[in-house]
Amino acid sequence: MVLKVKEGMTPQEIEEFTSHALLEMTLKEKVHLMSGYDFYKIFLKDRGKGRSVIPGGGLERLDIPPFRFIDGPRGVVIPGSTCFPVSMARGASWDITLEEEIGEVIGKEVRAHGGNLYGAPCINLLRHPAWGRAQETYGEDPYHLGELGSALSRGVQKHNVMATIKHFAANSIEYSRFKVNVVMNERTLREVYLPHFKKCIENGCATVMSAYNKINDKYCGHNAHLLREILKGDWQFKGYVHSDWMDGLYDTVAGIKGGLDVEMPRAKHYGKKLIKAVEKGEVSIDLIDDAARRIIWTVLRYTTKVDLQQYPPDLVGCEEHINLSRKVAEKSMVLLKNSNNLLPLEMNTLKKLAIFGRLADLKNTGDHGSSQVHQDNIITPLQGIKRFVEDKVEIIYNDGKDLEEIKNLSKNANAVIAVVGYTFRDEGEYVRQFIRKAGDRESLKLKERDKNLILAASEQNSNVIVVIVGGSAVILEQWIDNVKAILMAWYPGMEGGTALAEIIFGKVNPSGKLPFTIPKNESDLPFFKTHIDEIEYGYYHGYTLMEKKGIVPRFPFGFGLSYTQYEYSNLIVNTSEDSIKVSIDVSNIGKMPGEEVVQVYVGFEQSNIDRPKKLLKGFRKVFLNSNQTQKISIEIPKEELGWYNPETKMWEIEDIKYTIYVGSSSKEEDLISTEIIF
């Protein structure tokens, strides 16, 4: 062997090394690359203490580095790492630059722990808010998902760490994830459930994790249409596909023929069984070579760049990273209601503030599945507020069990903050081997005790602020009219309490916007069932469904209030051969500096086929001082207008008038528009 693995290999050297390696390797060595190993030993040793790095692949004889997996996406799961707000919160920040910064911090911490393969971004589309792992993804819209997921993987991959997009694809019912057959037509698959995966691949995301479920009768890990024709064929993905972990590969021959390159976390169907299948002629050696080539090439391409910096252990959970976690929480909380401008609270005039709810003083950063970041240093809402007000405001805390006491305490307080919502017991990853209460949510409403707490407090106090902790939409109809303010705080990470206090007292102006639609009724959503063998995913969900049916949601996709007001004017749209250039003046006409999420939608009202009324096709988060106006330019590549024609098997662009909408949410009244012809 002439070539050696070294830092800073050129693309050509990587190609040459990979080809030489394949010539030198035995079948056994190639197959060895194709699975994780030692998993159960590590797992058992590790139990309860968080995760260790899980290795796989690699070949010492030729210096081919193994991949060393660590999970995400809330941060790095190994104890002590920085715990960020969950991905759904980050989706609500609509901040691409911030997501890339998070990716960088995560990449550095992965390296400091000795890993080189990171288990995120999770970009499954939120079809229904009851999905238990909603918190791990970014929202309901494919364009938005693709932008956020790409940003995270770009950040992570700056540090010789491979990112993985998961779970490919249509994985969005937790209790049934191991068995459900998701049925959908080709247009729905290509236009709704896959574009975000494609975008991440185009942005260089190194690896793909297949999902447990089936699509159109084939397990995703065996699905040649998905893995071979679309991913590796149409999208020309050069990296490798690895299986999800709890037996995400179900059969040796079906897996390799379907396009699954690596079985994680151990060789159950690959390993010896795969060698046998090749020897018996059931599997061609070309398929093994293709998988081995992808693995070697990817590991070298993404983990051997010359390091820009060192990755010592004290990087993990350091002050700079914790500060970023706080900044993310500040930028992701969504102010849904603020009657009479109750918020921000004025510390000088406020004497007594009541804080209620069992969640107010709970370390509550999200589910306890594979994405749990083991971090003890967590600021709860109560701690954050107490620290913020010091001794300037009297704080009364009550967990909310005794409603008579709540009423009494509410009477004498100037304002009430009720912290309500969920914990890992209510929603999260369903892990069948362990007895845990998690999985999909049974109801989209708050629990009775939370509802009763809100109603009891609001009976006696007209200044009730509801803070919701959770990973996705909550139906608010039973109590929304009884309260003045509602703040969606998500699972806000280790510094969530600090960020919450800063928003409540106006040190920070809220700037988050909903990455999904909040309906008035569950019946406004697509059909969903937690325990189900087969389900059809239709072309419409979220805002596209509501707009198609003319249903008015409680809060639209992209909605969020601020302590200031923004005005949009001067919309100019120019088209060139391959893109649409949108320019708009955005002004902060209020008294406080703030950040606005400028959203661009393309309307397909004049389409000759069945299409959504409009779709998000661009956005930008901008900071504006009070009285400042900024011209914002957003470019939409022409191909974003395409639809997938299942008959021609091509993406096509209709020769029609399109409407360009620009504004602060997907609601018609929040948008200004103009028509264009391409």
Taking the complex as a whole, the smallest distance from the CB of residue 81 to ligand BGC amounts, in Å, to 15
Taking the complex as a whole, the smallest distance from the CB of residue 267 to ligand BGC amounts, in Å, to 16
Q: Is 168 or 245 the residue whose CB approaches ligand BGC more closely?
A: 245
Cα–Cα distance between 572 and 574 in angstroms, integer?
Answer: 7
Cα–Cα distance between 287 and 21 in angstroms, integer?
Answer: 16
Range list of β-strands (E), 170-327 = 181-183, 207-210, 214-215, 218-219, 240-242
Amino acid (one-letter) located at 14 = I
Length of the chain: 678
Strands 352-356 and 534-536: unpaired
Amino acid (one-letter) located at 479 = W
Taking the complex as a whole, the smallest distance from the CB of residue 149 to ligand BGC amounts, in Å, to 14
Strands 566-575 and 579-588: antiparallel
By CB under 6 A, name the binding residues for ligand BGC. 71, 119, 166-167, 244-246, 370
- The H or E element spanning position 616 is strand 614-624
Taking the complex as a whole, the smallest distance from the CB of residue 154 to ligand BGC amounts, in Å, to 20
Provide the b/e sequence for 200-228 (b: ≥16 CB within 10 Å): bbebebbbbbbbbbbbeebbbbbbbbbbb
Taking the complex as a whole, the smallest distance from the CB of residue 119 to ligand BGC amounts, in Å, to 4
- Identify the active-site residue in 71, 95, 141, 244: 244
Taking the complex as a whole, the smallest distance from the CB of residue 369 to ligand BGC amounts, in Å, to 7
376 in active site = no
Nearest 5°: CA angle at 130, between 472 and 493?
35
Q: Is 137 or 509 the residue whose CB approaches ligand BGC more closely?
A: 137
Q: Is 123 or 151 the residue whose CB approaches ligand BGC more closely?
A: 123
Taking the complex as a whole, the smallest distance from the CB of residue 117 to ligand BGC amounts, in Å, to 10
- In the structure encoding, which two tokens stand for residue 391, read together? 């001794």
Q: Is 18 or 243 the residue whose CB approaches ligand BGC more closely?
A: 243
Helices (H), 232-271: 252-258
Which residue number is nearest to ligand BGC in terms of Cβ?
370
Q: Is 95 or 263 the residue whose CB approaches ligand BGC more closely?
A: 263
Q: Is 247 or 459 the residue whose CB approaches ligand BGC more closely?
A: 247
- In the structure encoding, which two tokens stand for residue 258, read together? 């379907």
Cα–Cα distance between 230 and 239 in angstroms, integer?
Answer: 14
Q: Which residues on neighbouring strands pair with residue 623, listed in sequence order?
A: 595
Name the residue among 458, 430, 512, 657 with its Cα closest to residue 139: 512
CB 653 within 8 A of CB 604: no
Q: Is 71 or 595 the residue whose CB approaches ligand BGC more closely?
A: 71
Catalytic site residues? 244
